[in-house]
């Protein structure tokens, strides 16, 4: 165990990376480095936050294989997966190499048409060898969402997870921002001993604070990910004293509340938003930002083609163009100003406008929040942090070292925690705790009670030894009989790629 001064307050049943034996182990490390837009990094914060875990793994003899998703390359409507170089991990790898002065190798797996990458093939074997021999500092896998198995729930997922497990001895999840239960955040824990990284631990400690906020508690939710944000909103509504909305979420709410039509807002989204309107009829916690920026086009900020409108002028049945920002003067309306200045806790997952063209609403929001010096302020979300940094750089840098601020690496994750009212209800986090029980790995709870896990392992899925995998990587074409891992251990079969398979009964 480490020095408790440097440890986070987390559920003692959570298996922690600092308690894992990592000496000469290959560690599959899931991070959320989803910070690349059009091939460029907009804000390194999410990467920097994972360096402690990376150092911890390296310091204790572990050999890391990193994985992150970048953007959303799978199109649910057309069911196609496009491996666009703009969504590659290369920019992240270049940044890490420059920062750490070590070499990361990125294997190149060919996608199959618009189905994405189907297999981790044996071309990775020599890289694993180099990793073990310390000729490279790490491997960085391609964008996890380029793999057909990442978001799948059936055979492709199982195949991908089995191949991933075949690369490593254990798994560490440091991707707090990636709360969706996908192959690399969730299913992989069925096959490898799994641990929470240091960033994950820090985020879990701080997100617990939001669940018992000093009141009044104000949440501001905006942005474009309507599908994953509208769900948690009704639960969030119950926990806050005031809710402010912006972006696409607010547009749907306005259509539902005022019976207007706003360009780009789907009828199905308006239907969903009606629930929120109904909820607000009684409690009236929703503080509306009344001045909005309407634009005739999505093609940027075109002189003469955008204007400020007011919700006071909304008439049922009236159609509007795109609503692409909140006019800053919305924050001067007494009701809005009061809600933000009297708040004791503020959570912000909000980009108010269509970036990069419309930014004034977000800039003003950040400044007004900052002027409430007494409030505890929590920001979360990839774009939310990027915008805070680019619009108010001084404020952003001061916030990083200010105890009145905490910057989460995931906004959708915090919303989900509030929805579940439990950080350990996040599926990837729960999977880590279940894994500790199944694999018998030590946790603070088991160490404290003297039931050091790992000695008495009935009904466990025990992975094969690293030596076994190493031998495969060294001579990938020679078929070997895998070692028995006990009566209850997994059954292995050889796959075409030369990587071992677990019995899929684990899923």
Ligand X SMILES: Nc1ncnc2c1ncn2[C@@H]1O[C@H](COP(=O)(O)OP(=O)(O)OP(=O)(O)O)[C@@H](O)[C@H]1O
Ligand Y SMILES: O=C(O)[C@H](O)COP(=O)(O)O
For ligand Y, give the closer residue by CB, 138 or 410.
410
Shortest approach of ligand X to residue 222 CB, angstroms? 6
Judged by CB under 6 A, does residue 328 bind ligand X? no
Task: Choose, by CB under 6 A, the member of 64, 149, 166, 177 that binds ligand Y.
Answer: 177
44 and 409 Cβ atoms separated by less than 8 Å: no
Sheet holding 322-326, edge to edge: 306-310, 291-295, 322-326
SS3 content of the chain, % helix, strand, coil (to 5): 40, 15, 40
**Site for ligand X, residues 338 to 357, rule: CB under 6 A:** 349, 351, 353-355
Distance CA 107, CA 119 (A): 12
What is each CA distance from 167 to 29, 164, 494, in whole angstroms?
12, 5, 14
For ligand Y, give the closer residue by CB, 124 or 348.
348
Helices and strands, number each (H, E), in the chain: 17, 22
**Site for ligand X, residues 167 to 186, rule: CB under 6 A:** none
Task: Choose, by CB under 6 A, the member of 247, 442, 482, 489 that binds ligand X.
Answer: 247
- Residue 421 interacts with, from ligand X, ligand Y, none (CB under 5-8 Å by kind): none
Judged by CB under 6 A, does residue 138 bind ligand X? no
Residues 406-425: x/- map of binding to ligand X (CB under 6 A)? ----xxx-------------
Judged by CB under 6 A, does residue 380 bind ligand Y? no
365 and 220 Cβ atoms separated by less than 8 Å: yes
185 and 30 Cβ atoms separated by less than 8 Å: yes
**Site for ligand Y, residues 8 to 47, rule: CB under 6 A:** 32, 34
Distance CA 430, CA 64 (A): 23
Residues 202, 184, 17, 15, Cα dihedral to 10°: 90
- Kind of pairing between the strands at 138-140 and 80-81: unpaired
Judged by CB under 6 A, does residue 278 bind ligand Y? no
Residues 366-395: x/- map of binding to ligand X (CB under 6 A)? ---------------xxxx-----------
Task: Choose, by CB under 6 A, the member of 223, 423, 476, 498 that binds ligand X.
Answer: 223
479 and 47 Cβ atoms separated by less than 8 Å: no
For ligand X, give the closer residue by CB, 144 or 163.
144
CA Rg, the chain, in Å?
24
Question: What single string gives the DSSP state of each residue in 158-169?
Answer: HHHHHHHHTT-S
Backbone torsion region of residue 259, taken as left when φ is above 0, otherwise alpha when ψ lies between -120 and 50, otherwise beta: left
- Residue 354 interacts with, from ligand X, ligand Y, none (CB under 5-8 Å by kind): ligand X
Helix (H) or strand (E) holding 92: helix 90-100
For ligand X, give the closer residue by CB, 16 or 252.
252
Judged by CB under 6 A, does residue 73 bind ligand Y? no
Residues 383-422: x/- map of binding to ligand Y (CB under 6 A)? ---------------------------xxx----------
Q: Which residues bind ligand X (CB under 6 A)?
A: 222-225, 247-248, 323-324, 349, 351, 353-355, 381-384, 410-412
- Report the interface residues with ligand Y, using CB under 6 A: 32, 34, 72, 177-178, 180, 225, 228, 381-382, 410-412
């Amino acid at each position: 165990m480490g020095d408790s001064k440097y440890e986070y307050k987390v559920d003692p049943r959570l298996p922690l990376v600092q308690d894992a034996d990592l000496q000469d182990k290959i560690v599959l490390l899931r991070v959320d480095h989803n910070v690349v837009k059009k091939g460029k990094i907009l804000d390194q914060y999410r990467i920097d936050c994972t360096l402690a875990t990376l150092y911890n793994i390296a310091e204790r003899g572990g050999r890391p294989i990193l994985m992150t998703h970048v953007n959303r390359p799978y199109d649910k409507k057309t069911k196609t997966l496009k491996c666009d170089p703009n969504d590659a991990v290369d920019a992240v790898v270049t940044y890490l190499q420059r920062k750490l002065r070590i070499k990361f190798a990125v294997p190149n797996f060919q996608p199959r048409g618009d189905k994405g990458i189907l297999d981790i093939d044996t071309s990775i074997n020599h890289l694993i060898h180099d990793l073990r021999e310390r000729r490279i500092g790490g491997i960085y896998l391609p964008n996890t969402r380029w793999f057909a198995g990442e978001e799948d729930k059936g055979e492709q997922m199982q195949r991908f997870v089995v191949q991933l497990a075949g690369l490593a001895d254990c798994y560490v999840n440091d991707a707090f921002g990636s709360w969706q239960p996908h192959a690399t955040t969730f299913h992989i824990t069925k096959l490898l001993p799994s641990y929470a990284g240091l960033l994950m631990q820090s985020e879990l400690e701080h997100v617990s604070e939001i669940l018992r906020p000093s009141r009044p508690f104000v949440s501001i939710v905006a942005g474009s990910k309507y599908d994953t944000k509208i769900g948690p909103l009704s639960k969030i509504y119950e926990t806050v004293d005031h809710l402010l909305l912006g972006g696409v979420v607010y547009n749907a709410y306005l259509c539902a509340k005022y019976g207007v039509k706003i360009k780009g807002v789907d009828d199905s989204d308006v239907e969903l938003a009606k629930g929120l309107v109904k909820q607000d009829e009684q409690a009236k916690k929703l503080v509306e930002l009344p001045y909005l920026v309407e634009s005739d086009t999505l093609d940027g900020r075109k002189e003469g083609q955008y204007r400020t409108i007011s919700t006071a002028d909304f008439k049922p049945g009236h159609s509007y163009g795109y609503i692409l920002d909140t006019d800053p003067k919305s924050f001067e309306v007494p009701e809005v100003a009061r809600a933000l200045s009297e708040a004791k806790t503020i959570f912000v997952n909000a980009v108010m406008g269509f970036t990069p063209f419309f930014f004034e609403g977000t800039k003003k929001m950040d400044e007004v929040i900052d002027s409430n010096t007494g409030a505890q302020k929590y920001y979360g979300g990839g774009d939310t942090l990027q915008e805070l940094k680019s619009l108010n750089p001084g404020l952003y840098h001061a916030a990083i070292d200010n105890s009145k601020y905490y910057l989460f690496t995931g906004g959708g994750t915090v919303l989900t925690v509030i929805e579940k009212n439990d950080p350990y209800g996040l599926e990837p986090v729960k999977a880590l705790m279940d894994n500790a029980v199944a694999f018998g790995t030590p946790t603070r709870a088991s160490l404290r009670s003297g039931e050091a896990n790992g000695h008495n392992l009935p009904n466990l899925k025990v992975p094969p030894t690293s030596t076994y995998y190493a031998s495969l990587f060294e001579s990938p074409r020679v078929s070997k009989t895998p070692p028995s891992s006990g009566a209850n251990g997994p059954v292995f079969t050889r796959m075409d790629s030369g990587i071992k398979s677990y019995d899929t009964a684990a899923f």
